[in-house]
């Protein structure tokens, strides 16, 4: 796959030429050279534009797959955008200063030649003062260039490209005991709870640079060095005794505090992430916390090794390896970064009533205009369908090539709804999608005929591997004795029709697909409290959007 990498906009073309006057582009070609920064704003600007282009290319790919809502990266993207604007400004200043100095040299040279004198390279106090003035004018921009945050932003992006199932970048998590938000000091960020406990907040917070593995891996990147960590220890009151004549049994490194390393920034960041991770559980698992420290060298200083070992002892995975943030092409990792929602579907899918309605709805197959009698939910479906067509973007990719079944209860309920409020088109499509208990009576010729007839009453092409019709099954034909001990607790929270659908899918091991968010959330809540491990969970896929029948005005009013 060849990705159409975003190109520089016209406003950046002039500032990203190569090579640059003050930077060696060839020196930047090493995959880890970005960790060193650069003294040239134009070199940094070119690198930042490349980073921005990759981020935008990644977002384009998410949009093409209709997955842009699954990766939260607006904060990180905003930080990169700000850095890009800052580097554009600094590159402009650096370029103007260079051009001004060149113009002054040319003017001075022209004046000397006009007077008939050649310029003599004699240093005078006035010349020295002018040189100092030039240096003082350049000092602030140079300091800003040297302190650019770009190497860190590149390291975070490279870390994200090394993961699978990317969920978020630079996401803040809150943890700790609930406190009354009225007691929180002004300026302290917190997470406000909803509902009856909205007055309670959590003030502990941890910023995670990369959330991957579908939420089960949290990564923090830091470009801290050994020297910086020693300076951090010194600020906390540590003193190193370098005397070789000290024969006492006391350690060379001392601190008055009970927890000497507890306030060192790298320790605080890691342990805050670890505490926050204990409050996030995904299918009985807690996220793994990983810290990437590419500039830290182990084995050189005992003080540094002690800090690293402290983090590892607490369960944090620490990598002190520059290769952990090595650059890699986006094209080579894209399929791994973006989660495939259908990858773990079973060959047979159990379809619930909400999906059955979405498969036959006029909203899904026809150009529906909002009617005056539409209530808010129907008007919203018109808007969503215009932007995100359900069938080609979600349902057809989920169900094609797989055997489709539904319980008799779901089929009956769906039929009742269609008979009551369905339009003529919705009733025709229901007859095409729904089959009978005995699947063997349908030949491939009959299936092909149904697909052809469906195409006649739909604005979308019908996939050739769509296996029509849906087979109706009897839930009582399945042995539920093998379900985990938590199953009865889940069952008692479900209505009769939802019991037939979800317990059938659970008993058979089939993936159940639904757009009933409320039911799925209720099942997850029970499992979060009572499931022993992730194997206790049923296979359920929640379709990100739902469609009801358009129906008839009279039928809906009744």
Q: Are residues 397 and 537 in the same domain?
A: yes
The torsion angles phi and psi of 170, rounded to 5 degrees, stand at: 50, 60
Q: How much of the chain exceeds pLDDT 90, in percent?
A: 56
Q: At what angle do helices 125-146 and 41-64 cross, to 10 degrees?
A: 20
CA–CA gap between residue 503 and residue 539 (Å, rounded): 11
pLDDT score recorded for residue 203: 73
- Looking at the domain assignment, is residue 4 inside a domain? no
pLDDT score recorded for residue 432: 95
Q: Which contacts qualify for 361-364: CB closer than 8 Å, 24 or more apart?
A: 361/426, 361/547, 361/548, 361/549, 361/550, 362/423, 362/425, 362/426, 362/549, 362/550, 363/390, 363/547, 363/548, 363/549, 363/550, 364/389, 364/390, 364/391, 364/395, 364/547
Q: Are residues 286 and 357 in the same domain?
A: no
Adjacent-strand bridge partners of 9: none
- What pTM, to 2 d.p., does this model score? 0.77
Three-class secondary structure of residue 224 per DSSP:
coil
Helices (H), 422-485: 424-433, 444-456
**Nearest Cα residue to 405 out of 467, 498, 314, 457:** 467
Q: Are residues 217 and 321 in the same domain?
A: yes
CA–CA gap between residue 458 and residue 455 (Å, rounded): 5
pLDDT score recorded for residue 10: 37
CA–CA gap between residue 49 and residue 36 (Å, rounded): 17
Helices (H), 115-149: 125-146
Q: How many structural domains are present in the chain? A: 3
Predicted confidence band of residue 182 (pLDDT cuts 50, 70, 90):
low
Of 307, 337, 367, the residue that ends a domain is 337
Q: Are residues 488 and 358 in the same domain?
A: yes
Secondary-structure percent of the chain, ordered helix, strand, coil, rounded to 5: 50, 10, 35
CA–CA gap between residue 302 and residue 261 (Å, rounded): 13
Model confidence at 95: pLDDT above 70: yes
Q: Are residues 191 and 135 in the same domain?
A: no
Three-class secondary structure of residue 292 per DSSP:
strand
- Looking at the domain assignment, is residue 452 inside a domain? yes
pLDDT score recorded for residue 238: 56
Model confidence at 192: pLDDT above 50: yes
Q: Are residues 278 and 310 in the same domain?
A: yes
pLDDT score recorded for residue 251: 43
Predicted confidence band of residue 64 (pLDDT cuts 50, 70, 90):
confident
Mean pLDDT of the chain: 82
- Within 8 A by CB and 6+ apart from 4, the residues are 57, 60
Q: What is the DSSP letter of 223?
A: -
Residue 418: count of CB within 10 angstroms of its CB? 22
- Within 8 A by CB and 6+ apart from 324, the residues are 159, 162, 292, 294
Q: Are residues 92 and 137 in the same domain?
A: yes
Of 286, 314, 337, the residue that ends a domain is 337
Q: Are residues 319 and 172 in the same domain?
A: yes
- Looking at the domain assignment, is residue 403 inside a domain? yes
Mean of pLDDT values over 232-256: 52
**Nearest Cα residue to 340 out of 158, 70, 157:** 70
Model confidence at 468: pLDDT above 60: yes
Predicted confidence band of residue 233 (pLDDT cuts 50, 70, 90):
confident
Tokens of 24: 């060696």
Of 283, 318, 337, the residue that ends a domain is 337
pLDDT score recorded for residue 258: 63
The mean-pLDDT minimum among 49-63, 149-163, 447-461, 539-553 falls in 539-553
Tokens of 254: 């001392």
Q: pLDDT of 484-521, one tens digit each?
A: 999 999 999 999 999 999 999 999 999 999 999 999 99
The mean-pLDDT minimum among 26-30, 163-167, 212-216, 400-404 falls in 26-30
- Looking at the domain assignment, is residue 553 inside a domain? yes
- Looking at the domain assignment, is residue 154 inside a domain? no
Predicted confidence band of residue 348 (pLDDT cuts 50, 70, 90):
very high
Which domain covers residue 508, as residue numbers? Answer: 348-557
- Within 8 A by CB and 6+ apart from 220, the residues are 207, 208, 209, 269, 270, 273, 289, 290, 291, 292
- Give CA separation, 346 vs 312, 401, 430, 462, 508, in Å: 38, 11, 24, 22, 10
Q: Are residues 324 and 389 in the same domain?
A: no
Cβ(62)–Cβ(70) under 8 Å?
yes
Cβ(170)–Cβ(156) under 8 Å?
yes
Entry field: residues in the chain: 558
Model confidence at 24: pLDDT above 50: no
């Amino acid at each position: 796959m060849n990705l159409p990498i975003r190109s520089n906009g016209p406003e950046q073309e002039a500032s990203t030429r190569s090579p640059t006057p003050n930077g060696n582009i060839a020196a930047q070609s090493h995959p880890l050279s970005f960790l060193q920064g650069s003294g040239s704003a134009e070199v940094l600007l070119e690198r930042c534009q490349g980073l921005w282009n990759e981020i935008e290319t990644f977002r384009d790919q998410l949009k093409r797959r209709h997955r842009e809502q699954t990766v939260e990266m607006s904060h990180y993207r905003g930080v990169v955008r700000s850095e890009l604007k800052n580097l554009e400004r600094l590159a402009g200043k650096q370029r103007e200063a260079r051009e001004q100095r060149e113009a002054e040299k040319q003017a001075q040279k022209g004046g000397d030649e006009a007077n008939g004198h050649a310029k003599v390279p004699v240093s005078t106090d006035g010349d020295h003062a002018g040189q100092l003035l030039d240096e003082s004018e350049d000092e602030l921009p140079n300091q800003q260039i040297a302190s650019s945050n770009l190497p860190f932003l590149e390291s975070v992006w490279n870390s994200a490209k090394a993961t699978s199932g990317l969920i978020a970048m630079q996401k803040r998590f809150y943890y700790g005991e609930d406190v009354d938000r009225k007691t929180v000091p002004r300026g302290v960020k917190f997470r406000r709870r909803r509902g009856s406990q909205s007055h309670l907040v959590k003030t502990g917070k941890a910023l995670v640079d990369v959330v991957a593995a579908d939420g089960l891996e949290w990564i923090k990147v830091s470009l801290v060095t050994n020297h910086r960590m020693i300076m951090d220890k010194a600020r906390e009151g540590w003193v190193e005794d370098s005397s070789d004549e000290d024969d006492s049994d006391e350690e060379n490194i001392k601190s008055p505090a009970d927890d000497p390393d507890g306030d060192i920034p790298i320790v605080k960041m890691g342990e805050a992430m670890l505490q926050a991770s204990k409050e996030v559980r995904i299918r009985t698992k807690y996220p793994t916390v990983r810290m990437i420290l590419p500039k830290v060298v182990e084995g050189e200083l005992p003080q540094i090794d002690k800090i690293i070992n402290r983090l590892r002892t607490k369960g944090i995975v620490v990598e002190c390896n520059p290769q952990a943030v090595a650059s890699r092409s986006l094209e080579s990792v894209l399929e791994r970064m973006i989660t495939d929602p259908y990858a773990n579907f079973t060959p047979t899918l159990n379809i619930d009533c909400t999906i059955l309605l979405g498969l036959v709805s006029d909203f899904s197959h026809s150009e529906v205009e909002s009617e005056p009698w539409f209530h808010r939910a129907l008007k919203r479906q018109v808007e969503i369908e215009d932007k995100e067509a359900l069938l080609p973007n979600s349902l057809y990719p989920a169900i094609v090539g797989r055997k489709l079944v539904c319980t008799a209860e779901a089929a009956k309920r769906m039929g009742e709804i269609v008979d009551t409020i369905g339009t003529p088109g919705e009733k025709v499509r229901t007859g095409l999608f729904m089959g009978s208990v005995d699947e063997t009576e349908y030949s491939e010729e009959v299936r092909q005929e149904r697909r052809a007839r469906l195409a006649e009453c739909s604005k979308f092409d019908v996939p050739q591997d769509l296996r029509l019709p849906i087979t109706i099954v009897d839930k009582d034909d399945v042995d539920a004795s093998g379900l985990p001990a938590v199953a009865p607790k889940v069952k008692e929270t479900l209505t009769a029709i939802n019991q037939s659908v979800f317990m059938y899918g659970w008993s058979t091991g089939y993936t159940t697909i639904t757009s009933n968010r409320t039911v799925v959330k209720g099942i997850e809540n029970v499992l979060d409290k009572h499931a022993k491990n992730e194997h206790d969970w049923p296979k359920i896929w929640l379709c990100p959007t739902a469609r009801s029948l358009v129906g008839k005005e009279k039928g809906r009013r009744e």
